[in-house]
Each structure stands twice: as C-alpha cells, then as structure tokens.
C-alpha cells in the first residue's frame, strides 16, 4: 500500500502553484478477487496523507494526526459525497467494460478530485479526473463557476449531457464548498506540517562507465516538493534532450529527491566545468555545487567517510595509549 501511495505522490497533478494549498481525494473502485474493499479513497492535504475511507464499512481512519480532527469536516456530508462517487463508479463500470476482455480477473476504475486554495486565501480551481486501466477517460475542470470538460467515453451525447449537468450541479453546490471548507480546516490543524521547509542536500557525482563517464546532479531531503534543479556545463544549462532523469521521487521520511544525469566522453571530462544548481523555497539564494577539471580529484562521499572513520580510530588508539602510559607512570 505504501508503494501505491508513493506513486500517488509522484502523479499528483500540479494544480497548486507555489504558496497555495490543495486537498485531494484518490478513490478506487475494484471488481474482482482482491484483499481491498470494492470502493475506498485516500484524502491528502497537499502531499500529506490525512485520511483513509473504507467504502464497505463507511469508516474513516485518520492518518498522521497529532490532535483530534473530528471537527474538520461533517461526517454525514462526507458519506453523502462518498455514496455519490461510488454510484458514479458503478454507472461508469458498464461503459468502461464494454471493450474489455471479460477474462480479466481484476479491473479497477480510479478518480482523482482536487480543490485549490490560492496563496491569497481565495478558492481556486477544482479538477475531477477519471481513469480506467491506467488511462485517463475524462476530466472536468471547475474554475470560478465555469466548467470545461474533456472525455473519451463512448456514450450517446444525450446521456453524457445529462450526467454532466448532474456532475456540474454537484460540483457547484456540494463538492467544491465541502472541499474548500475541509481544506481550510486541515490547514488550520496541520499548518506546521505542510508549511515546513527543509533545505535540499545537493551533490554533483561522477561515475566512470566502461567507455565514458556519467555526471549526476542530485538533490535530496527537501520539502516542499517544488524544486528547480539544473545541470550546467561551463555556466550554461545542458539541453533537456541530453539529460536523463528529472523525476521527483519520495523519500521514506516525507521529503523528496531528484536526480538529473549526463553521459560524457573522457575528453569532455577534462575540458569542461560542470555545476549542479538548485532553487528551492527553503533557500534564500540558489545553491551551486561545482565539479572542476583538471586538478580536482573526484572522490565518492562514502570513501571520505571511511577515511575519516579510520583516522578517527587511529587518533583514539593513540590517545588511549598515551593515557595508559601516564597511569602506569603514576602508579609506579
């Protein structure tokens, strides 16, 4: 389950820009023999898991809370919304399985719903995105009481229009007001958690390959997840076409990491100066780490640690020997 949640964090839509906050419901509808309930969802504040809901028992399970959060939302309204989402899954199941191989043992439908609170405290946009078999089927965007819809479902136009009207009414009068109110409540309870800033640890690594070298720009241990990581060659950004990586990955402690790599020839290693540059909310200025050639010898961090430990042990041994000799002289 944790691996699935890590994947959710990576795939979070970038609806909330810097300084704003968002609330997300990741719901799943599964048909088949699985250990999971047919319908369930996880509620997330920005990228922090705050609740799990079991659609079979209709029970709420808080996650990561340090104080009581029963007053954050109306449980009856939450269950009403959950029932509506569950029912819509059942209706879409008929459409989604029309062209599916009936021999498939397990099939899942997923929905991500998120609302945004802008940095000025005003409600922002709301997104509802449905997916079947890992591909998006339709998306509804609600901004300032205006709706935009995109979809690929194979249904008659009059049926689609009827469902859109119902969905739009629910968004305007139920989903969006409840989402914004709940978002504000969670922000008040968990403001220290979501507003924390952790500086990235930035390293520029060099690894020798069989006939070339790989330069890697690594930033890890940072929060929040927005970061601008750039690999420079002689002060100029390396083309994205030449760089690999760049995916945002979660760490086990709730922070994030990102790596960008460039493969270079042996002669390029000697000719150019490479820099890893990071910009993050926790930093007053950008952070640059250089790897200069020639003359600078690259040494992996783990080797430095081993050398430092060996030197420390030698010093401790010498100090222990001196103390022991003094004690013997005093006793004599």
| Cβ atoms < 10 Å from Cβ of 86 | 17
Q: What are the structural domains, with CATH classification, of the chain?
A: 2-194 (3.30.500.10), 201-298 (2.60.40.10)
Distance, CA of 245 to CA of 105 (rounded, Å): 35
189, containing H or E segment: helix 176-194
State pTM to two decimals. Answer: 0.69
Query: Distance between CA 192 and CA 190 in Å, rounded?
Result: 6
pLDDT at 167: 87
- Residue 229 Rama label (left phi>0; alpha psi -120 to 50; beta): beta
Reduce the DSSP state of residue 151 to 3 states and report it: strand
The per-residue pLDDT for 309 is 53
Question: Residue 175 in contact with residue 112, Cβ under 8 Å?
Answer: no
Backbone angles phi, psi at 12, to 5 degrees: -55, 125
pLDDT of amino acid 15: 42
Per-residue pLDDT tens listing for the chain (332 residues): 444 444 444 445 544 455 689 999 999 999 888 889 999 999 999 989 999 999 999 999 999 888 899 999 999 999 999 999 999 998 888 776 665 555 556 788 999 999 999 988 899 999 999 998 778 888 999 998 889 999 877 778 888 888 888 888 999 999 999 999 999 999 999 988 888 999 999 999 999 998 899 999 999 999 988 999 999 999 999 999 999 999 999 998 889 999 999 999 988 888 899 999 999 999 999 999 997 544 333 334 344 444 555 556 555 555 555 555 555 555 54
């Amino acid at each position: 389950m944790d691996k699935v949640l890590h994947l959710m964090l990576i795939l979070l839509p970038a609806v909330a820009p810097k300084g704003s906050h968002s609330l997300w419901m990741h719901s799943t509808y599964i048909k088949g023999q699985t250990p999971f309930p047919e319908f369930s969802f996880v509620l997330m504040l920005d990228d922090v898991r705050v609740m799990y809901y079991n659609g079979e028992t209709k029970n709420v399970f808080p996650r990561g809370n340090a104080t009581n959060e029963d007053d954050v939302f109306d449980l009856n309204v939450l269950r009403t919304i959950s029932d509506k989402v569950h029912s819509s899954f059942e209706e879409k199941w008929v459409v989604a399985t029309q062209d599916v191989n009936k021999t498939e043992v397990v099939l899942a439908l997923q929905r991500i719903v998120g609302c945004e609170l802008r940095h000025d405290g005003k409600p922002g946009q709301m997104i509802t995105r449905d997916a079947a078999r890992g591909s998006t089927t339709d998306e509804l965007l609600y901004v300032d009481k205006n709706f935009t819809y995109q979809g690929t479902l194979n249904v008659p136009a009059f049926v689609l229009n009827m469902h859109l009207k119902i969905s739009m009414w629910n968004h305007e009068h139920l989903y969006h007001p409840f989402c914004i109110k709940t978002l504000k409540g969670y922000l008040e309870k968990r403001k220290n958690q979501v507003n924390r800033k952790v500086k990235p640890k930035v390293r520029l690594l060099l690894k020798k390959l069989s006939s070339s070298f790989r330069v890697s720009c690594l930033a890890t241990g940072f929060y929040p997840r927005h970061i601008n990581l750039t690999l420079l060659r002689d002060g100029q950004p390396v083309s994205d076409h030449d760089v690999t990586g760049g995916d945002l990955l979660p760490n086990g402690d709730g922070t994030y990491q990102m790596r960008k790599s460039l493969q270079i020839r042996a002669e390029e290693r000697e000719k150019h100066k490479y820099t890893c540059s990071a910009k993050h909310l926790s930093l007053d200025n950008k952070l640059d780490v250089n790897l200069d050639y020639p003359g600078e010898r690259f040494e992996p961090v783990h080797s430095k640690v081993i050398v430092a430990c060996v030197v420390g042990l030698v010093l401790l041994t010498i100090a222990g020997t001196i103390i022991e000799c003094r004690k013997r002289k005093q006793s004599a």
